[in-house]
Chain A
Amino acid sequence: MESSEGTSDIVHPEVRAHINSLVSALGGFSAEDDGRYVMGDSALEVLRDIKKWIRFYDEKTNRMDVARCLADANLVDGDLLHILASWPQNATDNRFKARAALACFEIMVPLTWPLERNHEEMTVNHHRHMPVLQLAQVAYKRSIINFDAAQILHTAVRVALPSMALPRNNRTPRDEGIIKLVLLFLRNMAMISPPPNVQYDGDESHISRSALIDAFSFQDILLTILTLASNMGEDFNHEGVIVMEIIFHLVKRVDVSKLFMDEKQLGKTNANELTSLMNKEAAMHRPHNRKAPTRHNRFGAMVWVQRGDGKMSTISGQDALLDAATRKQKMDDSKTYRPPRRARKDMEPKDLGPVVSLNARARQQLRGFVEEFLDSGFNPLFLNVRKKLDDGKEYVFGYHYQQFFYLVAWFLEAQRARTKATKSSQVAGGDDVGSYNLVATVLNQEMFITLNRSMSTSLEGKNWQELCAAMRCFTQILLTVQDMSESGNEDDEEIAENILSRIFYEEETHDRVANIARNYKDQGFEYLDSCTELAHTYLRILEAYAKQNVDMQVRSRRRIRRKKAAKAAVADDANPAADDESENDQASAERTTKERKFDFSRFAARFIPQGVIDTFVKFTKYYQDLNDAQLKRAHRFFYRVAFKQNMSVMLYRADIIHLFYSMIKGQQPLDKGCGMYKEWEELVKQVLKKCIRKVEERPALIIEMLFSKINATAHYLEYGYEKQTIAKS
């Protein structure tokens, strides 16, 4: 804190004086009875005053001065936590203490409220205080989670317990408010994380996800969440959305596949990961070491490169002597010109934060929670939240949609991982764990309506994060249904069959999946990953399904122009007066939905256009950072294009050929130890072989390889004749 003289304070000095006097009136550590905390005489009134300051100064006038002063005055760590600690378990009936505790939480909730940078409403004050307050919030979280004298989170639940115990229709608005307050407090605790691009200069382990899960588990918060979730819709109703938020911040970015491994497996995977990373690093160094100069850096070799037409280029440095590829690379690297373009984005999604790694204990606790949640809370909670989202309640915000889809996808994946884990450990084991009833609420028709609607609105509104979450959710649903259809249980297989037929009945969905894959542009890697994953899964499952059900029908919106024209002609001849009416008919006829036979090859042809190919090429460009599953996805796609649909012409473009070539034989090739290397090598070889043959066959391809092909020319280049001539005849 700065002294009142000297440099002027950033907040109004009177505000600071008021706040400081309030905080000091709240209480303090007594000099007698070995330094216990003693509350001031009118502590309750003081707490109420602080609350009023926050509400009527900060919130009404949209400043953050009071919050800043309170952070400077060390209110949370120095006073509130100690007041809460003085309300022990055995004094729960003490009304005075209970009221003081409630007042403490009423102050802590606004203080820990997530700070958003929303540029329209930000004032100078926001810019001034926000960086300090963000760090202050991290400090709050640390002291609340790690407070030794009392379980603060548990105390929070105790505050709400009397209200929660009442039946739902007996609760007063005040009771509802208390429950909401406490849940929001837990939400804030789960949500606070060090601001991005700031180096946190404390011990990370005090505020990490592991510490949070540990605290939640130790103080019985996980049990509370489970209770709330499994009684959602009965004893609780409006709280569903907040409970979902808490769970979201608890599990976001946690790797599902690692969660359900036992110790031995996990140790093995971690070791494998380490060795593969070290191998990767060694592989990165190897070409560099081999090509590193053997003499000092002023040795000064200079090389002429003969390049036809009697022209020469000069390159300096002894590594130019190594081989032609290095020389080419050096010539290219010496160029400094960069075409104007947007900044490249990170691979990490910014809105979700970095990947979380949990320690063994936290993993165990979280796993227990996830299993129990799947067994009891999944259906009631997500049914409740879905209804709330559909109704568009006033307490539902835009980001709730994203969180909902993210969580559904996450838990579906967890359920699949768990089924797999139990299956491998005991062959013909319990049916209840593997049962798909546990996740039934997200596989019904209403869910698909919500999902489809959200996908189309977020696509129109260019809300990529929400669309990304929805795509992941859709992918997981497809995978779950596929697992169901192979489960061996007759009922499950029948249900899966029904679901699939419903999913694939609407042609609109087919169009949307293809369109999303075609129109990727600068939405970041997370989006790229999820849209390629969706396209891959969708194609694969639809192919299998169409093979099984040969005469599959789809509902398509197609215009029937010719019919309309004929009808109009007839109407004109017969009865010119009835023109008006028939006009309406035509309009509706134009919009009628028609059923028609589904043709997989026609559907797959939608994934041939240049846009889709470009999307997958952009995805493959990250080949050094992709894992096996992702590489496999790209591999299957290109394989399908080149060999199943015979449109390898679409791949004959200089940059794509360059990418393929450098993946195998380039300066930074794919790691040879990587599982997908062999398959990729074979694919690339075949594509290149076909390409060279085509170039010899049709010299025009030399030029066409520079450009994206038009459909007609592509067809000519592939088959040697025009497609149009066939279409006309």
Chain B
Amino acid sequence: KRDAEASGLGIDEAIAVHKKPRAPNVKLDEHRLLSDNGIPKLRKKAGELKFKGKGHEFSDTKQLLDLYQFWLDDLFPKGKFLDSLAMIEKTGHKSRVISARLNWINELKPKATQDSDE
């Protein structure tokens, strides 16, 4: 019965249904973290940081936290600060990130060892 009615209206042809793939969720994962906008940028920005030192513990800390917050806002705009920090902490257990972290530490090490040798 339904067929007969439908054919009269010309809507009986099968319509190819394309399921449009959903846009993937943007994630704060190790790829994003290790990209140019990630840690490398943070290192560059950290170089510009100037601390006042003794007696200004709280204002210095605020500077430090501001640095992280603005950097994270650029890197992963939709996440809140504390949420993003937790997500980054999680990526820290991935082997890729661990090796990158060791590299960063080692880059700074030779100087230290030379100093101590001399």
A688 is an interface residue with CB less than 8 A from chain B: yes
Cβ B89 vs Cβ A655 within 8 A? yes
Cβ B80 vs Cβ A702 within 8 A? no
Contacts of B69 in A (CB 8 A): 328, 332
Q: How far is the CB of A648 from chain B (nearest CB, A)?
A: 13
Pick the contact of B58: A336, A661, A695 (CB < 8 A). Answer: A661
A335 is an interface residue with CB less than 8 A from chain B: yes
**Pairs across A and B, CB under 8 Å, 27 listed:** A308-B70, A332-B69, A336-B78, A339-B79, A653-B89, A655-B85, A657-B61, A657-B65, A661-B65, A665-B62, A692-B51, A692-B57, A696-B51, A699-B43, A699-B46, A699-B108, A700-B107, A702-B43, A703-B43, A704-B101, A706-B68, A707-B97, A707-B101, A708-B92, A708-B93, A710-B98, A713-B105
Cβ A691 vs Cβ B46 within 8 A? no
B83 is an interface residue with CB less than 8 A from chain A: yes
Cβ B83 vs Cβ A339 within 8 A? yes
Which 3 residue pairs spanning A and B have beta carbons closest together? Answer: A707-B92, A337-B78, A688-B57
A331 is an interface residue with CB less than 8 A from chain B: yes
A362 is an interface residue with CB less than 8 A from chain B: no
Question: CB within 8 Å of A: which residues of B?
Answer: 39, 42-43, 45-47, 51, 53-54, 57-58, 60-62, 64-66, 68-70, 73-74, 77-83, 85-89, 92-93, 97-98, 101-102, 104-105, 107-108, 112, 116
Q: How far is the CB of B115 from chain A (nearest CB, A)?
A: 10
Known: A688-B58, A696-B51. 6 other contacts (CB 8 A): A665-B62, A689-B57, A703-B39, A706-B85, A707-B92, A707-B97
Contacts of A307 in B (CB 8 A): 70, 73
Contacts of B102 in A (CB 8 A): 713
Contacts of B60 in A (CB 8 A): 688, 692
Cβ B65 vs Cβ A664 within 8 A? no
Annotate A350-381 by CB proximity to B: 1 below 8 A, 0 otherwise: 00000000000000000000000000000000
Cβ A688 vs Cβ B104 within 8 A? no
A710 to chain B: closest residue by CB: B98
Q: How far is the CB of B83 from chain A (nearest CB, A)?
A: 5
Cβ B61 vs Cβ A688 within 8 A? yes
Contacts of A325 in B (CB 8 A): 62
Cβ B101 vs Cβ A698 within 8 A? no
Chain A positions 647-700 with a Cβ under 8 Å from a chain B Cβ: 653-655, 657-658, 661, 664-665, 685, 688-689, 691-692, 695-696, 698-700
A329 to chain B: closest residue by CB: B81
Q: How far is the CB of B2 from chain A (nearest CB, A)?
A: 37
Q: How far is the CB of A286 from chain B (nearest CB, A)?
A: 19
Annotate A707-729 by CB proximity to B: 1 below 8 A, 0 otherwise: 11010010010001100000000
A338 is an interface residue with CB less than 8 A from chain B: yes
Cβ B101 vs Cβ A703 within 8 A? yes
- Complex formed: what's the CA distance from A327 to B111 in Å? 40
Q: How far is the CB of A197 from chain B (nearest CB, A)?
A: 29
- Complex formed: what's the CA distance from A311 to B74 in Å? 10
- Complex formed: what's the CA distance from A696 to B50 in Å? 9
Q: How far is the CB of B102 from chain A (nearest CB, A)?
A: 7
- Complex formed: what's the CA distance from A398 to B57 in Å? 52
* Given contact pairs A688-B60, A692-B60, A658 touches B65 in the complex (Cβ within 8 A): yes
* Given contact pairs A689-B57, A710-B98, A335 touches B64 in the complex (Cβ within 8 A): no
Q: How far is the CB of A709 from chain B (nearest CB, A)?
A: 9
- Complex formed: what's the CA distance from A627 to B39 in Å? 40
Pick the contact of B65: A311, A654, A708, A713 (CB < 8 A). Answer: A654
- Complex formed: what's the CA distance from A203 to B10 in Å? 69
- Complex formed: what's the CA distance from A689 to B61 in Å? 9
Pick the contact of A664: B42, B58, B74, B77 (CB < 8 A). Answer: B58
- Complex formed: what's the CA distance from A720 to B58 in Å? 25
Contacts of B65 in A (CB 8 A): 654, 657-658, 661
- Complex formed: what's the CA distance from A331 to B42 in Å? 20
Pick the contact of A720: B77, B93, B112 (CB < 8 A). Answer: B112
Q: How far is the CB of B101 from chain A (nearest CB, A)?
A: 7
B65 to chain A: closest residue by CB: A658
Chain A positions 35-87 with a Cβ under 8 Å from a chain B Cβ: none
- Complex formed: what's the CA distance from A337 to B39 in Å? 22
Cβ A703 vs Cβ B42 within 8 A? yes
Chain A positions 295-335 with a Cβ under 8 Å from a chain B Cβ: 307-308, 311, 313, 324-325, 328, 331-333, 335
Pick the contact of A695: B64, B70, B92, B101 (CB < 8 A). Answer: B64
Contacts of A331 in B (CB 8 A): 73
Cβ B101 vs Cβ A654 within 8 A? no
Contacts of B107 in A (CB 8 A): 700
Cβ B88 vs Cβ A707 within 8 A? yes
Chain A positions 616-659 with a Cβ under 8 Å from a chain B Cβ: 653-655, 657-658
Cβ A692 vs Cβ B92 within 8 A? no
Q: How far is the CB of A428 from chain B (nearest CB, A)?
A: 50
